[in-house]
Amino acid sequence: MYLQPIFSSDDIQKSLPQYYKMFKQVDGRWKNNIITSKKTQFVFEFCNNDTVRNNINEDIIILDKVQKNLEN
């Protein structure tokens, strides 16, 4: 499920504020990762970063939780 269009809706943001906040956190980190990766000369260097890997793993868990709650 693609979540960006869903959370672009003001109605969804207001009716599901905790999940909107979770989505925005993940979205912000993803955008930051993209910006950081563009500044990194070597992809391996970026991908080998423990913080990046931990954040991505955490984001997957958060997005799964958000998606499951949207399906209910």
Nearest in space to 32 (alpha carbons), one of 15, 56, 16: 56
Residues of the domain holding 57: 4-71
DSSP 14-42: HHSHHHHHHHHHHHHHHHHHHHHHHH-S-
Per-residue pLDDT of the chain (72 residues; tens, 9 = 90+): 588 889 999 998 999 999 999 999 999 999 998 888 888 888 888 888 898 899 999 999 999 999 998 887
The set of residues, in sequence order, having a beta carbon less than 8 Å from that of 56 and lying 6+ positions away, is: 33
CA dihedral 30, 10, 2, 69 (to 10 degrees): 100
pTM of the model: 0.80
Tokens standing for residue 63: 């997005």
- Our count of domains for the chain comes to 1
